[in-house]
C-alpha cells in the first residue's frame, strides 16, 4: 500500500527550493513516525510503503494538517495491493495506480482507492467520503474513489439533460456511445470506460491555455453507457445544453446528454470564453 505526495507546482528560486526540500523532509519524518518505509523521492514526489492502511491514513492526515498551515500543498494518493520489492525499489500495478491517484488529485486533496478503503477497519472507513467512480488509463473498469471526510458534506451530483429535464440515471439503459469533444482544432473522442482530460496543463488531452483555466480542470468520461463531466477546478465550469439553459458546476459530477458546450471558468456568452463542444453519438 502506497501513498505519494506531490506539490501543486514547481518553483524555481533557491529559497523556494529549500522550502520544498524542508517540506519533503518533514513528510518523510511523519511517514517514518507512523511506520512508513521510505522508498525514494524523485523531484517533488515522495513514495513510502506501509504495512497497515490505518497507519498510512494517520500519516496522511498529519501531513495534510501540517502543510495547510504553510504555503505548500500536496496531492496525495493512497492505494492498497501486492508489490514486488527488490534492490530497494518496488514494482507492480499498485505503483502505477497510486501515481495516477496523486496526479489526479487537486492541490491539498487526498484520493483513496476502493481497495484501500476495503482494507480499512469500519472506523477508518467511516472517516472517508465517496467521490464517485473514476476511470483510470490502463484499467478496464472505473473504480470507486474516496477522499478524507470534511465538514462541508459530500459533493453533489447533478444530472443535466437537453431542455433542462432532470433524468434519474438509475433508469437510463446502458448504451454503446461515443463522446466527441472539440476545442478549436483539437478533437478527441472516447468510448466506454475511457476519459478525456481538459485543462491548462500540457499533460491534458485537450489543452486550454488560459489563466482562469485550472491545470487539470475537468474530465469527460463514459461509464456504463453514460457520458459525464467530472469538474475538479476552483473556478468552475459552465455547461450548456441549449440556448436558454446554462448551468454552473464546480467540484461536481454531471451527466451529459445529446450535445452541448462547456466553458471553463467563464460564461459562454463572454467574448473571452473558451468554448468546448461535445456530441454523444449512439452505436
Is the domain of 161 the same as that of 129? no
Instruction: Count CB atoms within 10 A of the CB of residue 251.
Output: 16
Q: What is the pTM of this model?
A: 0.50
Each residue's pLDDT tens digit, 228-245: 899 988 899 999 876 667
- Domain end position, chosen among 111, 131, 148: 148
Is the domain of 175 the same as that of 267? yes
Q: Is the pLDDT of residue 133 over 70?
A: yes
Q: Is the pLDDT of residue 166 over 50?
A: no
Is the domain of 84 the same as that of 120? yes
Structural domain boundaries, residue 259: 157-282
Is the domain of 58 the same as that of 194? no
Per-residue pLDDT at 140: 64
Lateral strand order in the sheet of 2-6: 37-42, 45-49, 2-6, 75-79, 109-113, 143-148, 128-134
Q: Is the pLDDT of residue 124 over 80?
A: yes
Is the domain of 162 the same as that of 135? no
Per-residue pLDDT at 208: 97
Sign of CA dihedral 44, 49, 53, 58: negative
Query: Percentage of residues in the chain with pLDDT exceeding 90?
Result: 24
Q: In terms of residues, how long is the chain?
A: 283
Per-residue pLDDT at 210: 96
- Domain end position, chosen among 121, 148, 175: 148
Each residue's pLDDT tens digit, 186-221: 999 988 878 899 999 999 999 999 999 999 999 999
Per-residue pLDDT at 83: 74
Per-residue pLDDT at 139: 66
Half-sphere exposure of 105 (CA within 13 A, CB side): 30
Under 8 Å between Cβ of 101 and 107: no
Worst-scoring range by mean pLDDT, 21-25, 164-168, 181-185, 209-213?
A: 164-168
Instruction: Count CB atoms within 10 A of the CB of residue 187.
Output: 10
What is the tally of structural domains in the chain? 2
Give the pLDDT band (50/70/90) at residue 171. very low
Amino acid at each position: 500500500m502506497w501513498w505519494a505526495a506531490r506539490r501543486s507546482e514547481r518553483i524555481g528560486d533557491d529559497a523556494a527550493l529549500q522550502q520544498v526540500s524542508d517540506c519533503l523532509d518533514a513528510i518523510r519524518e511523519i511517514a517514518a513516525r507512523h511506520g512508513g518505509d521510505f522508498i525514494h523521492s524523485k523531484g517533488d514526489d515522495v513514495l513510502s510503503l506501509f504495512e497497515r492502511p490505518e497507519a498510512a491514513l494517520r500519516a496522511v492526515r498529519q501531513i495534510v494538517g501540517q502543510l495547510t498551515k504553510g504555503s505548500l500543498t500536496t496531492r496525495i494518493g493512497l492505494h492498497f495491493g501486492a508489490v514486488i520489492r527488490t534492490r530497494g525499489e518496488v514494482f507492480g500495478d499498485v505503483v502505477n495506480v497510486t501515481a495516477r491517484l496523486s496526479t489526479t488529485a487537486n492541490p491539498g486533496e487526498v484520493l483513496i482507492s476502493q481497495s484501500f478503503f476495503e482494507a480499512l477497519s469500519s472506523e477508518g472507513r467511516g472517516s472517508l467520503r465517496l467521490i464517485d467512480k473514476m476511470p483510470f488509463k490502463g484499467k478496464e473498469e472505473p473504480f470507486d474513489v474516496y477522499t478524507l471526510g470534511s465538514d462541508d458534506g459530500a459533493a453533489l451530483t447533478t444530472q443535466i439533460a437537453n431542455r433542462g429535464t432532470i433524468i434519474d440515471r438509475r433508469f437510463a439503459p446502458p448504451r454503446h456511445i461515443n463522446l466527441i469533444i472539440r476545442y478549436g482544432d483539437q478533437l478527441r473522442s472516447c468510448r466506454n470506460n475511457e476519459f478525456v482530460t481538459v485543462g491548462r496543463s500540457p499533460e491534458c488531452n485537450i489543452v486550454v491555455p488560459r489563466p482562469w483555466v485550472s491545470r487539470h480542470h475537468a474530465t469527460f468520461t463514459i461509464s456504463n453507457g453514460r457520458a459525464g463531466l467530472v469538474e475538479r477546478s476552483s473556478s468552475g465550469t459552465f455547461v450548456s445544453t441549449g440556448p436558454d439553459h446554462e448551468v454552473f458546476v464546480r467540484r461536481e459530477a454531471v451527466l451529459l446528454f445529446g450535445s452541448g458546450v462547456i466553458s471553463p471558468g467563464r460564461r459562454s456568452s463572454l467574448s473571452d470564453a473558451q468554448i468546448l463542444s461535445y456530441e454523444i453519438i449512439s452505436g
